[in-house]
Amino acid sequence: MKKINQFLLALLVISALAGCQKFFDVKPQGVASTEQLKSKAGVNAVLIGAYSLLDGEGAGNTSWHSAVSNWVYGGVVSDDAYKGTDAGDQPEQSFLEQFNWVSDNIHLRGFWQHQYDGISRANNVIQLASDPDVKDMSDVEKTQVIAQARFLRGHYHFQLKIMFGNVPYIDDKTYDPGNPGGVLIGNTTDIWPQIEADFKFASDNLPATQSQKGRATKWAAKSYLAKSMLFQKKWAAAKTELLDVFNNSGKKLVAEYHDNYRNKTNNNIESIFEVQFSINDGTGGQNGNNPDRLNWPYSGGAPGRGCCGFYQPSHNLVNAFKTDANGLPMIGNAVDGSQDTYNNADVPNDQGISYTLPYTPDLSVPVDPRLDWTVGRRGVKFLDWGPHPGSSWIRDQAYAGPFSGKKWMYYLAEEGSSTHATAKRSVNNNFRLIKYSHVILWLAECETELGNLAQAESYVNMIRMRAKTSTPQDAAVNVKIEPYPAGTFVAKGQSFAINAAHTEQRLEFAMEGHRFFDLRRWGIAEKVMNAYIAKESVSGTDLNGRSFSKRNYLAGKSMLPKHNLFPIPQDEILNSQKDGKSVLVQNPGY
C-alpha cells in the first residue's frame, strides 16, 4: 500500500508540473525582487541591511562568533581576559585561549561567514545604487550611498584581514549572487591596498556629519584608513590622516572617562563611529548587543539578571593599572614589556575566598582610576549596584578568577530604560568602535615610531589628564594618576616612549577587544603572551603576601609563531573547490 501511494503521489506531482507551469512563475511572497528595490527607498533598505551586520548578529551563525567587540579573538586570546565561566562551557573558546588552534573550530567559521555576508550585502548596495534604472536618486545621492557601502565593505574585509592574513577580496565587480562560483578566488594576494581604497573613497565622498546617527562619516572613514595603515606600519601616512581628524573633525574628549560606556551618552562628542544597539524594537533583543550576551555576572541579583559568566578580566590586566609613587605606570624601557614591574605582585583580591566568608578589601594600593570603570572587584563599588559581592557573581571562581567585566554593564536605576523588557542582557549601550581617544593614542604611537618623542608625550598626557580629572568610580579606592613629567619620553628614549604609548592604549581600551590584535601588529605578541602564560599558570602572591591559585589550565601552553594568524576555516577550504582544486591556501603551521 505504501509503495502504491508513493507511486500515485509521484504521478500527481508530475501531472501538476506538466499542467501548472504558470504556478511557478508567481514571484515569492514577502521577498523583494531586484526590480522592486530599484528606488531610493529600496536602495536605502538594502544599505540598512548592510549596516545591520556590524554588531555581529544576523548572518545565521552563532552571534558571539562575530561580535563587533571581538571579545573572543581580541580579548580572551590576549592577556586582558580569561574565557571565564567554567571549563565545560564553550570549549571552542578554551581551545583558542590555550592556543590549541585548529582549522575546524566552529568559532572561526562563524566569524568568516559573518564578515563575508556583510561584504555581499555591501556589494549588493553598490550594484543597486549604480543601476541606471534607479531614477529617483541624483548622482550625488548615489555616490553617498556607495561611499557608505564601501566603508562597510572595508570594515568587513579589515576584520578578516587582521584575523586570517591573506583572504579573498570580493568587490562589486566580482560578486554575482546568480553565480556562486564567481567568488571562488584565491587568497595569495595582500588585500590591504583594496581595503585602503575602500576607506579612501569613503573619506573623499562622505559628509563630515550625518543627520542619522550610526551612518559613516568622512571622519570615520579617514580614521579607519589610518588604522589600516597602522597595521602596515605606515607611520607617516597614518599620521597625515590622523592629524586631519584631530584638527578638523570637531571631536574632543568627553570630560568623564566613563561617559564612553553609558547608554545615556551614546553618540557623544568623542565618538567617531558607533555601532548602534536598540531594545524593545519588536525583536526579542537581537539588536541589543546580543553577541555579547554571554558576558554577564552569573547571578540573578547582578546586571543582566543571571548568565553566563564569560569574559572575565585577568590578574595581569588588573595589575597593569597599578601606579608608582609618582602616579605613573610601572613600566620599563623594553618595547616588549619585559622590563615592566607591575606584574611582579598581584593587587589584593578575593581569589579563593567564598562570598560567604568575611572579606575586607585592601584598597590602599595606588591604582589608575580607569581600573574600576573597567573591572569589577570585590568590595569596590559596581556602578550603582553596591559593592561587588565577590564569588556569588562568578560562575566558577577557581577556574575563571575573581573579576567581572564592566564596560558594557548598565546601572540598576536604568534597568528598563536601557534593557530589553524580557531580556535584561540586551542593552542599548552602543559599542564605540572608533573614538577620538583612539585617534590621539594612534598619533602618539606614530610619533614614537617616527622619533618625535616630545609630541608623543603630549598626546599620551592628554589621555592621562582626562583620566586624572574624571570622577573615580569609588572614593574609597586609592586613586593615583599623573601625566608624565615634561621631557620624560626624550630622557628615557624611544623604546620607553613606544612602551608607554602601547601601555596607554591597553589601559584606555582594556576589555574592548583590541588587545591581541595590537600586540600582534606591534610584533610583540609571542613574547608578551608567553610571559603572561608563564605567570598565570602558577600560583600568585598579592602585595600582602597571600598566595592563591590562578589559571593552572594554562600550564604547558605557549604561543607559537603560527598563532600570529588564525587558521582559515577548513570547511571554507573544502568549499572553495574550483576545477577540482581548492583556491584557498591554509596559513602556515595548520
Residue 409's pLDDT band (cuts 50, 70, 90): very high
Task: Measure the CA–CA gap between 517 and 77, rounded to whole angstroms.
Answer: 10
Handedness of CA 134, 138, 144, 146 (dihedral sign): positive
Question: CB neighbours (10 Å) of residue 304?
Answer: 24
pLDDT at 35: 78
Which of 174, 141, 144 has its CA nearest to residue 157?
Answer: 174
- The answer to whether residue 3 scores a pLDDT higher than 80 is no
Task: Measure the CA–CA gap between 170 and 183, rounded to whole angstroms.
Answer: 7
Do 40-206+566-582 and 315-559 fold alike per CATH? yes
Cβ pair 568, 103 in contact under 8 A: yes
Task: Measure the CA–CA gap between 419 and 56, rounded to whole angstroms.
Answer: 19
Largest CA distance in the chain: 94
Using a 10 angstrom Cβ sphere, with 0-12 exposed, 13-18 middle and 19 or more buried, the burial of residue 556 is exposed
Task: Measure the CA–CA gap between 472 and 481, rounded to whole angstroms.
Answer: 11
pLDDT at 169: 97
- The answer to whether residue 7 scores a pLDDT higher than 70 is no
Cβ pair 203, 221 in contact under 8 A: yes
Task: Measure the CA–CA gap between 386 and 347, rounded to whole angstroms.
Answer: 21
Task: Measure the CA–CA gap between 5 and 30, rounded to whole angstroms.
Answer: 34
Letter for the amino acid at 257? Y
- According to CATH, the topology of domain 40-206+566-582 is 1.25.40
Class of domain 315-559: mainly alpha
Letter for the amino acid at 495? S
* Mean pLDDT computed over 201-217: 97
pLDDT at 5: 34
Set of cell numbers at residue 534: 608563564
pLDDT at 180: 80
Cα dist from 55 to 329, 482, 524, whole Å: 33, 36, 29
- The answer to whether residue 20 scores a pLDDT higher than 80 is no
Set of cell numbers at residue 178: 546568480
pLDDT at 30: 53
Task: Measure the CA–CA gap between 93 and 515, rounded to whole angstroms.
Answer: 17
**Domain ranges for the chain:** 40-206+566-582, 315-559
Percent of the chain with pLDDT over 90: 91
- The answer to whether residue 280 scores a pLDDT higher than 70 is yes
- The answer to whether residue 309 scores a pLDDT higher than 60 is yes
pLDDT at 31: 54
* Mean pLDDT computed over 287-300: 96
Which of 404, 430, 416 has its CA nearest to residue 261?
Answer: 430
Q: Whole-model pTM?
A: 0.93
Would you call 569 helix, strand, or coil by DSSP?
coil
pLDDT at 23: 32
Lowest-pLDDT range of 2-6, 73-77, 129-133, 454-458: 2-6
Q: Which residues contact 365 (CB under 8 A, 6 or more apart)?
A: 322, 347, 348, 478, 543
Would you call 310 helix, strand, or coil by DSSP?
strand
Task: Measure the CA–CA gap between 80 and 317, rounded to whole angstroms.
Answer: 5
pLDDT at 574: 94
* Mean pLDDT computed over 379-404: 98
Task: Measure the CA–CA gap between 153 and 151, rounded to whole angstroms.
Answer: 5
pLDDT digits (tens, 9 = 90+) for 455-468: 999 999 999 999 99
